[in-house]
Amino acid sequence: MNQDVLNLLNAQIGHEYENYVLYEQASAYFDAKGMDEAAKLFRKQADGELEHARKFTDYVRDAGGKVVIPTIKGQKSEYTSGEDVFLAAFTREQETTAKIYAIRDLAWKSSDHATFEMLTWFVSEQVEEENLTGKLLTVVRGFGEKNLYLIEAYLSHKA
């Protein structure tokens, strides 16, 4: 495996763990507000991020690379509003997509077809993640902060 590709894959493992922390913090934010549906949504998202980190870790191992998990950066722990939480989630998914595209581009240029192919699943996953977080951000903005609790009803009907 190309060393530059391996470095990006290891960095992505760290990024996925940072996503996990961000979503756990978002879940805690809504839990503290008594918003169970929003808290569950973000807990589910956090679980998905752990799964993603493990998929990258397993792939690096299976491909014969050395897993080096970077230091996990702390994530925002205070939010000014519910919209701020959903915006953080949407922005993070956009960042994640850009990182996955960068790894995939480098894998292609390096003739690392296995990594390129493995990342196909993540490309599709990111379309779903950006779609979900973008729609939820739009809904929250539509409700406005004073009607934030309406997101509970919205989320309960989506489940």
- Per-residue pLDDT, 146: 85
Mean pLDDT on 65-69: 98
Where in the chain are the domains?
3-158
71: region left, alpha or beta (phi > 0 left; psi from -120 to 50 alpha): beta
Residue 139 has pLDDT above 80, yes or no: yes
pTM of the model: 0.94
- Per-residue pLDDT, 159: 57
Percentage above 90 pLDDT, the chain: 86
- Per-residue pLDDT, 75: 83
Q: What's the pLDDT band for 79 if we cut at 50, 70, 90?
A: very high
- Per-residue pLDDT, 149: 87
Domain 3-158: CATH architecture, name and number where available: Up-down Bundle (1.20)
Residue 126 has pLDDT above 70, yes or no: yes
Q: Any idea what the Cα angle at residue 11 is, between residues 5 and 17, rounded to 5°? A: 140
